[in-house]
Amino acid sequence: MIKVQKFGGTSLSDEQSRRNVLRHISRERASGAGLVVVVSAMGRRGEPYATDTLLDWIEQNGRSLPDREKDMLLSCGELISAATLCSLLNREGIPSVALTGGQAGIVTDGRFGSARIAKVDPSRVREYLADDKVVVVAGFQGATEDGEITTLGRGGSDTSAAALGAALEAEVVDIYTDVEGILTADPRLVGEARPLAVVSYEEICNMAYNGAKVIHPRAVEIAMRAGVPIRVRSTFSDGEGTLVTRADLAREKSGWIDRTVTGLAHVRGVTQLAVRTPEDDPDAQLRVFRAMAVNGISVDFINVTPAGILYTVGEPDAELAVRLLREMGFEPRTQARCAKVAVIGGGMNGEPGVMAKIVEALTERNIPILQSADSNATIWVLVSEEDMAPALQALHAAFALHRTP
C-alpha cells in the first residue's frame, strides 16, 4: 500500500510546523504504508527560501536570466525543503531519501516556467520504497527527456503529488495545508465557511478553476483520470479533512442526493469593458474578438447584443485591450477593480430559483451585479472588488452553507 503526502509552504515554514509534518509521516508509516512525501518550498514571500522570495530575487538580480536558468533557480526552494525534511526524518530514525522531481521520474515538456507533465516513470521511487525508505520528492518541478530542469507553475506541488499518486496507483494523495480541508468559501473572507466532508472531483475542479486556491485544478484532473482519491487536510490537526472522490462515491459517503450549492469561489483583478459597435457593421464584433485572441487576451463574461459587446479581461491585459480597441476606432467604457464571484454546485442544473436567490441576497445588501453568467454547474456574478467579501458573505448565508454537513 502506497500513500502520497504533500506538504505546502506554510506546513514547512518553522520548527513547530515541521514537527507536525513529522507527526503525520510517522503516523502513516506506523500504519504500514509506503510513503512518498512531496514538499513545497518553505514559507511565504519574505522567508529566505520561499518561491516568491526567489521570484523577487530574480526580479532584482536576474532580469536578463534566460527561462532555462530561471527554472534552475526557482527549483531550489523545493530542493532545500526536501533535503531539510530528509535530515529531520533521519534524525528521528526514519530512513529516507530526497529526490529532485526529475530523479523521481517526472518527465515534462520544455515549457520552462509552466511545464506540463508528459509522463512519470516511478521505477526509482519504487526501488527506494522496496528498500523501506520514505521517499521525499521536491515538488513543483520535473525534467525534460534531455534532463533540463523545469518548473510546473503556480500550485505545481499539488500537480507533482497527484502525478506521482497516479503513477504509483497510490491508495490516496493527502494534501496537507493550513486549513481544515476544502471549505465552503475562502475562510479569509467568509468567517462562517465550513469544511466539506466529501466532494466530487468535478465539484472541486470547478471551485479550483474559479479561484479556490486550496488545490490546483490540474492536480484534481490527474487524480480523477487515474481514479486516485485526494484528501485535503490540515497539517496542524488530526482532522480527516475533505475527501475528493468520484461523484457516485461522494454522494454515497456524504448522504446527499443532489446538493444544489457546494461552495463559493472568487477571482479579483478583473476589468469590465463595454464596446458600442455600429449596427450596420456586422463584422465589428468579430474584429474585436479576433484582436483579443490574436494578442493572447483571454475574455470572459461575454455578452453580445446588436448594440455592442460587454466582456471582461484580467487586469494585467486591460491596458493592451483598451489600446487595441482604440486602434480599431472604438471608445470602450472600462470598469476596473471588479471581482468574479462564483456559486458552484453540481445539483443546480435546471433548479429553479437559484439565480433569484442570488439576486435577492445581493440586492438586500445593496450590492450591484455588474454582469452575470451561468453554466450547468456554476453561476457567476461580477461585482466591484470592494463588494466582493460582502457578496460572498451574503451568498454564504443565503444558501445556508454554514449548515453544510
Shortest Å distance, C-beta 8 to Mg ion = 5
* Amino acid found at 358: I
CA dist 11 and 23 (Å) reads 12
Closest residue to bound ligand ADP by CB: 8
Shortest Å distance, C-beta 47 to Mg ion = 15
150/262 with CB nearer ligand ADP: 262
Alpha helices (H) along 131-235: 156-167, 201-209, 217-226
Q: Quick one: what does residue 170 bind among Mg ion, ligand ADP, none, with the CB cut-off 5 to 8 Å set by partner type?
A: none
Q: CA 161 → CA 123, 295, 312, 355, distances in Å?
A: 16, 34, 34, 37
Q: Which residue has the cell 474584429?
A: 287
47/148 with CB nearer ligand ADP: 47
- 128 Cβ contact partners less than 8 Å away, ≥ 6 residues apart: 97, 99, 135
Query: Of 220, 213, 163, 173, nearest to 2 (Cα)?
Result: 173
309/377 with CB nearer ligand ADP: 377
Shortest Å distance, C-beta 67 to Mg ion = 23
Rg (CA), the chain: 23
CA dist 191 and 214 (Å) reads 16
Shortest Å distance, C-beta 154 to Mg ion = 8
Residues within the interface to ligand ADP (CB under 6 A): 8-11, 40, 177-179, 182-183, 185-188, 207, 212-214, 263
207/313 with CB nearer ligand ADP: 207
Shortest Å distance, C-beta 405 to ligand ADP = 16
85/107 with CB nearer ligand ADP: 85
Q: How many CB atoms lie within 10 A of CB 331?
A: 10
Q: Quick one: what does residue 102 bind among ligand ADP, Mg ion, none, with the CB cut-off 5 to 8 Å set by partner type?
A: none
Shortest Å distance, C-beta 274 to Mg ion = 35
- 35 Cβ contact partners less than 8 Å away, ≥ 6 residues apart: 2, 3, 4, 5, 25, 28, 29, 129, 134, 135
Site residues for Mg ion, 1-20, by CB under 5 A, read 8
* Angle between helical axes of 76-91 and 51-61 (0-180°, round to 10): 140
8/43 with CB nearer Mg ion: 8
218/259 with CB nearer Mg ion: 218
Q: CA 228 → CA 33, 153, 191, 220, distances in Å?
A: 16, 22, 31, 9
Shortest Å distance, C-beta 283 to ligand ADP = 42
Contact 246, 227 (CB under 8 A): yes
> How many binding residues for Mg ion (CB under 5 A)?
1
Shortest Å distance, C-beta 54 to ligand ADP = 15
Q: Quick one: what does residue 309 bind among Mg ion, ligand ADP, none, with the CB cut-off 5 to 8 Å set by partner type?
A: none
Shortest Å distance, C-beta 159 to Mg ion = 10
CA 15 to chain CA centroid, Å, is: 26
SS3 89: helix
Q: Quick one: what does residue 212 bind among Mg ion, ligand ADP, none, with the CB cut-off 5 to 8 Å set by partner type?
A: ligand ADP
Mark residue 341 as left, alpha or beta (left: phi above 0; alpha: psi -120 to 50; beta: remaining): beta
Shortest Å distance, C-beta 36 to ligand ADP = 17
Query: Of 350, 266, 268, 278, nearest to 308 (Cα)?
Result: 278
Q: Quick one: what does residue 346 bind among Mg ion, ligand ADP, none, with the CB cut-off 5 to 8 Å set by partner type?
A: none
SS3 315: helix
CA dist 313 and 207 (Å) reads 20
CA 86 to chain CA centroid, Å, is: 27
185/244 with CB nearer ligand ADP: 185
Q: Quick one: what does residue 262 bind among Mg ion, ligand ADP, none, with the CB cut-off 5 to 8 Å set by partner type?
A: none
Q: Quick one: what does residue 10 bind among ligand ADP, Mg ion, none, with the CB cut-off 5 to 8 Å set by partner type?
A: ligand ADP
Q: How far apart are the first and last CA of the chain?
A: 30
196/391 with CB nearer Mg ion: 196
Q: Quick one: what does residue 333 bind among Mg ion, ligand ADP, none, with the CB cut-off 5 to 8 Å set by partner type?
A: none
193/309 with CB nearer ligand ADP: 193
Q: Quick one: what does residue 187 bind among Mg ion, ligand ADP, none, with the CB cut-off 5 to 8 Å set by partner type?
A: ligand ADP
**Site for Mg ion, rule CB under 5 A:** 8
